[in-house]
Structure 1
Amino acid sequence: MKIEPLIKMANDIGNFFNSETDKEIAAEGIRKHILRSWDPRMRREIIAYCQQDGAALSDLVRTAVSRLEQA
């Protein structure tokens, strides 16, 4: 699977949650959404991308994905 569509989807999710003023709540919302909506292969790929570079992900999404790594 190409990483670009995953990056776009993750950033779109991040844009939705970015309206939350509490960024901790927003990051947790992104993490939960990815955890329940993405299949394990997609999660592994976005985590690997974040670990390698992650430059195309928003800061909020990088925070959420790094929490996926820890789970």
Structure 2
Amino acid sequence: MSPDKLVRMANQIALFFAAQGDAAAPDAVATHLRQFWDPRMRRAILDHAKSGGAGLSPIAAAAVARLAVDEPA
């Protein structure tokens, strides 16, 4: 899956969870990514974030950063 599509999907998920507020939304998005995204998709979004994370919304970027803490290298 292309990075652009993953970014679009992550941003849509972040928009959905934005109603929870800036403090809770990134954790909710990260949980969603862990539970519903294939490991290859998670690796691809992590790689995209490592190379700058172009296009990720602030909530999506924060969620991917939280995801990076738990994902094996």
TM-score range, shorter chain: over 0.9
Alpha-carbon deviation of 1:24? 2.2
Letter in 2 for 1:68: L
For residues 17-40 of structure 1, give each alpha carbon's deviation from its aligned partner in whole angstroms, at most 9, with x where no partner exists.
Answer: 11122x221110000000000000
Alpha-carbon deviation of 1:7? 0.7
Which residue does 1:46 correspond to in 2? Answer: 45
* Secondary structure, counterpart of 1:53 in structure 2: coil
Alpha-carbon deviation of 1:55? 2.1
Letter in 2 for 1:39: D
Which residue does 1:17 correspond to in 2? Answer: 17
TM-score (norm 1): 0.92
Q: Distance in 2 between matches of 1:10 and 1:17?
A: 11
Confirm whether residue 69 of structure 1 aligns to residue 68 of structure 2. yes
Aligned length: 70
TM-score (norm 2): 0.90
Please provide the CA RMSD for this pair: 0.8
Matched residues, percent identical?
37
Segments ≥4 residues shifted beyond 6 Å: none
Q: Which runs of 5+ in 1 are unaligned?
A: none
Letter in 1 for 2:28: G
